[in-house]
Amino acid sequence: MRISYEKLWHILLDRHLTREMLRKQCGISSNTIAKLGKGQNVTTDVLLKICKTLGCRLEDIAEIVDN
């Protein structure tokens, strides 16, 4: 099992936001955005920053999927 951030990318598309815009608004590094893009692990602090910035909940941006 792994975590998928596909929901996050769909939210960004719906809101006409780029990954760079999200990075700046959240105050997270480009390395962290790259990890999210590759479906790698990030800290819960990062996920909370994203949720606060987008006004959503964790389950709105991430989900557990089978490999």
Domains in the chain, start-ordered, CATH in brackets? Answer: 2-61 (1.10.260.40)
pLDDT at 47: 97
Task: From residue 18, give the alpha-carbon distance in Å to each of 2, 4, 11, 13, 66.
Answer: 24, 18, 10, 8, 27
The residue to which tokens 């994203």 are assigned: 50
Query: pLDDT digit string (tens) for 4-57?
Result: 999 999 999 999 999 999 999 999 999 999 999 999 999 999 999 999 999 999
Cα separation, 45 vs 53, in Å, equals: 12
Gap between the Cα atoms of 2 and 5, Å rounded: 10
Is the pLDDT at 67 greater than 90? The verdict is no
**Structure pTM?**
0.91
